[in-house]
Structure 1
Amino acid sequence: MNWIMIFAALSGALAVAAGAFGAHGATGPAVEWLKTGGQYQLIHAVAALVALRFEAKGPAVMFLAGGAIFAGSLYLMALGLPRWLGAVTPVGGTMLIVGWLWLAWSGRA
């Protein structure tokens, strides 16, 4: 069973659901939080699948974990949890950057 692929697919589904909720059910700053979280999570779910295709499992995991932390903190704030969760968002963003750098390193000859 390919857990990375399963998690990437579920991450993509959650991103679409968050974006739809942001477009049709949210108000105020929650709209932008859901839009941003959904966009980043969806991009990195696809990036994880591409990395997995090239047998770069480490970067794929970083994309998924970073996307979950980045988007998850935004989603939680959009659902009314405290705004201090915004301090967690850059941790996920840093993981996404590390995933891209790791993928670049993996591609060297």
Structure 2
Amino acid sequence: MTPHITIATGALFGMLSVIFGAFGAHALKKILSTEQLQSFEVGVQYQMYHAIVLLVLGYGLNSISAATYWCFTIGILLFSFSIYGLVLSDAKGKKLRFLGPVTPIGGLLLVVGWLLLLINAF
């Protein structure tokens, strides 16, 4: 994967995590329970962590493997965005239960991305 694409993806996810974090802290604070808000914040945190990883990888390497890039990118989408969907749908009283199994798949992809980085180090 080219550094430009990796950096752009990291910057997009970083920007969105700030927007979603502010949205959660201000607009959703009035609607969500404490537990729901904590879950939403976990999604935001993991999104930001992995956005930063993509930025570091993009700036620090000539390129990363496509597999690593896609594990982090799809992992963020499945993990964080499924949490957002679960929390927001639950707050509306119509929880999208099909998203429940999506979250751990996203988490697994994030773990595989880290594993690939570890393997690449050696």
Distance 2:37 2:70 in 1: 27
Unaligned stretches of 5+ in structure 1? none
Verify the 8 A CA contact 1:4 1:61 in the aligned structure 2.
no
Query: How many residues are matched?
Result: 108
Partner of 2:81: 72
Partner of 1:107: 121
Partner of 1:97: 111
Structure showing greater Rg: 2
Aligned partner letter, 1:31: L
Verify the 8 A CA contact 1:49 1:60 in the aligned structure 2.
no
Q: Which has the higher contact order (CA 8 A, sep 6+)?
A: 2
Normalized against structure 2, the TM-score is what?
Answer: 0.78
Unaligned stretches of 5+ in structure 2? 90-94
Partner of 2:44: 38
State the 1:37 CA deviation. Answer: 0.4
**Root-mean-square deviation (CA), in Å?**
1.8
C-alpha distance after superposition, 1:27-74 (max 9, x if no partner)? 124312220000000000111122232232332332122111100101
Normalized against structure 1, the TM-score is what?
Answer: 0.86
Paired-residue identity, %: 36
